[in-house]
A and B are shown apart, each in its own frame.
Chain A
Amino acid sequence: MITGHRLAAAVLALGCLAPAQAQDKPTLVLERLMKDLAQVKSARGRFVERKHFAMLNAPLESSGTLVYVAPGRLEKHMTSPRQESLILEGERLIVERKDKGQRRTFALQEHPVLWAFVESMRSTLNGDLATLQRFYEVRLEGNAGAWRLRLRPKEPRMRQAASEIRVGGSGTWVNRIEIDEAGGDRSVTEVTREAG
């Protein structure tokens, strides 16, 4: 109920903020944002991820490419510091480490926490509000040019792993993902459009 309430409040607030905006710059409500995101059939970008771990005295940085193909495929290919791929395909997550010749498949149904994590990204890209709200309380902040979804896990087990995930973007482009882990660890991923 909290979700519904907050959503209503957010929609109301945003509606009040821009009651008479022109049609080429539509009002940013959650449903509208998700609908717009759902129009994107594929996207490709470079990411840089910084992970801050309590047990480490310096952040870990990694980078590579992100590929999204509607409706359910998401690939994260890390190229630095080494080759590793994460491929999300329907309800399966495949982790490939070419350097070790390893390839492991996880069924998301069996790993609820993992599932929640991947849906924060995939459901957002897919504009699938229903799935997103299955796992998270969703709040939208900002405007069409610079929006931010604040996702708070609903499942207690997921809350033990992450306290909040923030997905930021501009228009239909997701450019920043921040994950606050429960133990105080944190990761920030920035995504830029790949040139060419």
Chain B
Amino acid sequence: MSPAARWALAAWIAGAAACAAVIARTEFSTDLSAFLPRSPSPVQQALVEQLRDGVVSRLTLIAVQGDSPDRLAELSKRLAASLRASREFAAVNNGEEAGFEKDRDLVWRHRYLLSTAVKAERFSAVGLRASLEELLAQLASPAGVLLQRLSAADPGGELLRLLEELAPATRPRLHGGVWFSEDSRRALLVAQTRAAASDIDAQKRALGLIQDSFAAAGAGADARLQVTGPGVFSVASRDRIRADAWRFSLIATVLIAAMLIALYRSVRVLGLGLLPVASGALAGVAAVSLAFGSVHGITLAFGVTLIGEAVDYAIYLFTQNAPGATAQSTFERIWPTLRLGLATSICGFSAMLFSGFTGLAQLGLFSIAGLVVAAGVTRWALPAWLPRGFTVAAVAGFAPRVMALARAAPRLRHALVVLLAAAVAFLLLRPQPLWSGSLASLSPISPREQALDRELRQDLGAPDPRYLVVVHAADEQAALQASERAALALRDAVAKGWLQGFDSPAAYLPSEAAQRERQAALPPPPTLRQNLQEAQKGLAFRPNVFEPFVRDVGAARTMPLLDRASLQGTSLALRLDALLVKRPTGWAAMLPLRGVSDAKAIADAVAGTSAGVLLDLRQELDELYRGYLREAQINSLLGAAAIVALLLAALRSPRRVFDVVAPLAAAALVTCGLLALGGHELSIFHLVGLLLVVAVGSNYSLFFDRAAPVQDRGRTLLSLVFAAVTTVIGFGLLAFSSVPVLNAIGSTVGIGAAMALAFSAILSRPSGTEGAYARAS
């Protein structure tokens, strides 16, 4: 081993070890923090928190179908029982009245502290008179049979009012004591996981438990289990992305390795060829970890594909190594071109680096650090380690044919101009927008699964995961008080028909202030007795019949206030825990809304109370995404301008800059046109794909632009073809993925790289003065 090779090896080992040390201490996150802007507004913060571990995100909806209703009801009970016994779920509800007695008892005992209707005037003679008249009317009512048993202790009907308020507005129908869909075909359950939806491993465990419990519940052969919800979706998304990424990269690796082995005829050289990419990936992860504190799953999943350009470095070096030449001299010949290509790529990826979208910024940094290191390894290590006298034997066979093609290519210039004009016209004239503004377009969840989710949600009357009011406060009491203020506005909004209903933590645990206020509104027994006597005058009630009421009100005036601990053991505690959460800084309360019909009016009404804000999760997310997309588009244009400036500085000839840039711009345009023609709505990941096309393609057009010695031209051209073929294989395969993100990058780069090479050849100047391949032969 030469001294240079030794130094290179020592430096590489030291670098790799340093990266490994950083990576060993790196935290890898898979939650939605990647979507959080780097300097989020409070609303955005709340938004991401909701998605990450909000109440609604923890609800898993379960349906059992495919058997007789009686058998399904039995299955539902057994499934619920075994899920309740596990530690994964905070609550499992299937309509059975398990624990309901406890709830009812608690509400009955604390009815005068819990009810928002407790006001002093209701206990005055006039207020009581109204209550008693109403009671009389209810007793006379055909439906009144059932309520009079409690009336002596609760003439104002506080219990019924509370039970009605605390129960969801729409409930599924019951069969055999458990919930069913309207058509009785599905038994329904709702399970609330302890873990947040973003804790995908825990969600996967919970999902597995549901499936195992169902299998163990002795279902008949026809019974089927259906599960949906945010947690289920996040598990499915991760599994699908993982499976597709693995499957396609495995196939691509095998194909590319087979091709390179056939070309190089050396396993060692094949291994060397992968060294720049592997080193770059290592350095990329380490750089992101140092800069961001953690590395996101998105970065890991797509980062390596983004430095696919680095595979090309080795191909250029190895393929262009002529017999008899040293690797070092070959490298020195191609280095200026590679260096300029690298700088161009960095300009392009900077568009991502400066994104407010953390995931994209991480990808940008990963790519830049990865490419720089890959180029460094190509520069200092590969020439030293390449076996002496290595050459790609196949060159002799392929080179003449490739040269012939390159010579013929410029004849297609006019055709290219026509194609370009067609693409531009098509993009401008089609009525649909080119870019999708909806984040849902990135979701790997199929429309069928989304439809099932909607159906079950409707069957269950489960809250729409879209709207909720979020309250932030310094402490628990302040959060409850703010919830009470927001609830006041929301009750008004319900009365106006802007929504059907809502849930509030203060309904289960009123603030201490509210409870004290209610206690103060209750008159002492002698006064209450007097008021009752007056109120009863002329009514048919027997004297002293309301003595239980007087006794209970008297007790309520001095009873200890309701607190978290007193809810223990009831289902109300679970619901409270879900809606009122301690945060690292202060407390957050959530009021999920149902059946929203006028979000704008509700938002204004809630804002008027200054207690909280209405979050429209879908709209906020789409807004956030559209913001990222706009920013990425602008940054990409700035990146393109920077590339032009860089090339101007390096090539010092506007004409040559045009020669280099034109094929890339044409490739980007035609790729967009083809994607649109194929029915794609472009997303931010298509944009990332286009950046990659520019990064990879700039090497092609630069090599076409650079004059190479005549004897090396065939090799140079062939190296470009090999590089393009590996890129098209690697990314083109991803285009077959059903995961939108993978599909977007794959189809864009697969088409774009092929276009970039073809257009570089077509637009090369047959009679130019600078670098002309056609002329060379």
Is the pairing of A and B real? yes
Question: A residues touching B (Cβ–Cβ < 8 Å)?
Answer: 49, 51, 53-58, 60, 62, 76, 78, 81-82, 84, 86, 91, 93, 95, 97, 107, 109-110, 113-114, 117, 161-162, 179, 181, 183, 185, 187
Which of A56, A84, A187 is within 8 Å of B542, CB to CB?
A56
A109 touches B141 (CB 8 A): no
21 contacts between A and B (CB under 8 A): A49-B142, A51-B140, A53-B148, A55-B151, A55-B542, A56-B542, A58-B540, A60-B136, A60-B139, A60-B540, A62-B140, A62-B141, A78-B141, A84-B141, A107-B171, A107-B174, A109-B174, A109-B175, A162-B145, A183-B149, A187-B145
User: Does B143 sit at the interface, judged by CB under 8 A?
Assistant: yes
Which of A53, A55, A82 is within 8 Å of B137, CB to CB?
A82
Q: Which 7 A-B pairs have the closest CB atoms?
A: A109-B174, A86-B142, A56-B540, A55-B545, A60-B140, A95-B143, A76-B142
Which of B137, B145, B173 is within 8 Å of A91, CB to CB?
B173
Identify the closest chain B residue to A160 (Cβ). B149
User: Does B634 sit at the interface, judged by CB under 8 A?
Assistant: no
Question: How many whole Å from A65's CB to the nearest CB in chain B?
Answer: 12
Residues of B within 8 A of A183 (CB): 149
Residues of B within 8 A of A113 (CB): 146
CA distance in complex: A109, B175 (Å): 7
Question: How many whole Å from A83's CB to the nearest CB in chain B?
Answer: 11
B541 touches A57 (CB 8 A): yes
Residues of A within 8 A of B173 (CB): 91, 107, 109-110
B145 touches A179 (CB 8 A): yes
Identify the closest chain B residue to A109 (Cβ). B174
Identify the closest chain B residue to A107 (Cβ). B173
CA distance in complex: A118, B141 (Å): 14
Residues of A within 8 A of B171 (CB): 107, 110
Question: How many whole Å from A62's CB to the nearest CB in chain B?
Answer: 5
Given A78-B141, A95-B143: A185 and B540 interface contact (C-beta under 8 Å): no
CA distance in complex: A70, B198 (Å): 54
User: Does B120 sit at the interface, judged by CB under 8 A?
Assistant: no
Residues of A within 8 A of B139 (CB): 51, 53, 56, 60
User: Does B152 sit at the interface, judged by CB under 8 A?
Assistant: yes
Residues of A within 8 A of B152 (CB): 55
Which of B140, B145, B541, B542 is within 8 Å of A181, CB to CB?
B145
Question: How many whole Å from A90's CB to the nearest CB in chain B?
Answer: 11
Residues of A within 8 A of B140 (CB): 51, 60, 62, 78, 81
Which of B145, B148, B175 is within 8 Å of A55, CB to CB?
B148
Question: How many whole Å from B70's CB to the nearest CB in chain A?
Answer: 13
CA distance in complex: A161, B144 (Å): 12
Question: How many whole Å from B175's CB to the nearest CB in chain A?
Answer: 6
Question: How many whole Å from B209's CB to the nearest CB in chain A?
Answer: 29
Residues of B within 8 A of A110 (CB): 171, 173-174
CA distance in complex: A95, B160 (Å): 15
Identify the closest chain A residue to B175 (Cβ). A109
Question: How many whole Å from B556's CB to the nearest CB in chain A?
Answer: 22
Residues of B within 8 A of A109 (CB): 173-175
Contacts A54-B542, A62-B140, A78-B140 known; 4 new A-B pairs at CB < 8 A: A55-B151, A56-B139, A57-B541, A179-B145
Contact with A along B128-160 (1 / 0, CB 8 A): 000000001101111111101101100000000
B146 touches A114 (CB 8 A): yes
Question: How many whole Å from B309's CB to the nearest CB in chain A?
Answer: 63
CA distance in complex: A56, B136 (Å): 9
Question: How many whole Å from B34's CB to the nearest CB in chain A?
Answer: 44
CA distance in complex: A163, B139 (Å): 19
CA distance in complex: A51, B173 (Å): 32
CA distance in complex: A172, B144 (Å): 28
Residues of A within 8 A of B137 (CB): 81-82
Given A55-B542, A57-B541, A109-B175: A161 and B145 interface contact (C-beta under 8 Å): yes
Identify the closest chain B residue to A82 (Cβ). B137
CA distance in complex: A162, B141 (Å): 17
B145 touches A57 (CB 8 A): no
Question: How many whole Å from A60's CB to the nearest CB in chain B?
Answer: 5
Question: How many whole Å from A134's CB to the nearest CB in chain B?
Answer: 13
CA distance in complex: A62, B141 (Å): 8
Identify the closest chain A residue to B546 (Cβ). A55
Question: How many whole Å from B133's CB to the nearest CB in chain A?
Answer: 11
CA distance in complex: A114, B141 (Å): 14
Residues of B within 8 A of A91 (CB): 173
CA distance in complex: A181, B541 (Å): 18
CA distance in complex: A81, B545 (Å): 23
A117 touches B541 (CB 8 A): no
Residues of A within 8 A of B148 (CB): 53, 55, 185
Residues of A within 8 A of B174 (CB): 107, 109-110
Which of A57, A76, A161 is within 8 Å of B540, CB to CB?
A57
Residues of B within 8 A of A53 (CB): 139, 148
Residues of B within 8 A of A84 (CB): 141-143
Contact with A along B168-182 (1 / 0, CB 8 A): 000101110000000
Identify the closest chain B residue to A78 (Cβ). B142
Identify the closest chain B residue to A56 (Cβ). B540
Residues of A within 8 A of B146 (CB): 113-114, 161
Residues of A within 8 A of B542 (CB): 54-57
CA distance in complex: A86, B140 (Å): 13
CA distance in complex: A114, B142 (Å): 11
Question: How many whole Å from A145's CB to the nearest CB in chain B?
Answer: 28
CA distance in complex: A186, B335 (Å): 103
CA distance in complex: A54, B148 (Å): 10
Question: How many whole Å from B151's CB to the nearest CB in chain A?
Answer: 7
A56 touches B142 (CB 8 A): no
8 A Cβ contacts from B533-574 to A: 540-542, 545
CA distance in complex: A58, B542 (Å): 9
CA distance in complex: A107, B145 (Å): 17
Residues of B within 8 A of A76 (CB): 142
Question: How many whole Å from B533's CB to the nearest CB in chain A?
Answer: 15
| Most A CB within 10 A of own CB, among B143, B149, B542 | B143
B141 touches A56 (CB 8 A): no
| Most A CB within 10 A of own CB, among B148, B175, B545 | B148
Question: How many whole Å from A177's CB to the nearest CB in chain B?
Answer: 11
| Most A CB within 10 A of own CB, among B141, B149, B175 | B141
Identify the closest chain B residue to A81 (Cβ). B140
Given A57-B541, A60-B136: A86 and B175 interface contact (C-beta under 8 Å): no
CA distance in complex: A109, B540 (Å): 35
CA distance in complex: A141, B578 (Å): 58
Question: How many whole Å from B551's CB to the nearest CB in chain A?
Answer: 16
Question: How many whole Å from B399's CB to the nearest CB in chain A?
Answer: 80
CA distance in complex: A107, B95 (Å): 13
CA distance in complex: A117, B144 (Å): 12
CA distance in complex: A109, B146 (Å): 16
8 A Cβ contacts from B169-210 to A: 171, 173-175
Question: How many whole Å from B445's CB to the nearest CB in chain A?
Answer: 32
Given A57-B540, A109-B173: A86 and B143 interface contact (C-beta under 8 Å): yes
Question: How many whole Å from A120's CB to the nearest CB in chain B?
Answer: 11
CA distance in complex: A36, B149 (Å): 37
CA distance in complex: A78, B545 (Å): 27
Residues of B within 8 A of A56 (CB): 139, 540-542
CA distance in complex: A62, B143 (Å): 12
CA distance in complex: A109, B145 (Å): 18
Question: How many whole Å from B180's CB to the nearest CB in chain A?
Answer: 8
Residues of A within 8 A of B541 (CB): 55-57
CA distance in complex: A3, B300 (Å): 72
CA distance in complex: A97, B542 (Å): 27
8 A Cβ contacts from B217-257 to A: none
Identify the closest chain B residue to A58 (Cβ). B540
Residues of B within 8 A of A82 (CB): 137
Residues of B within 8 A of A179 (CB): 145
Question: How many whole Å from B187's CB to the nearest CB in chain A?
Answer: 13
Residues of A within 8 A of B149 (CB): 183
Question: How many whole Å from B728's CB to the nearest CB in chain A?
Answer: 61
Question: How many whole Å from B350's CB to the nearest CB in chain A?
Answer: 61
Question: How many whole Å from A23's CB to the nearest CB in chain B?
Answer: 40
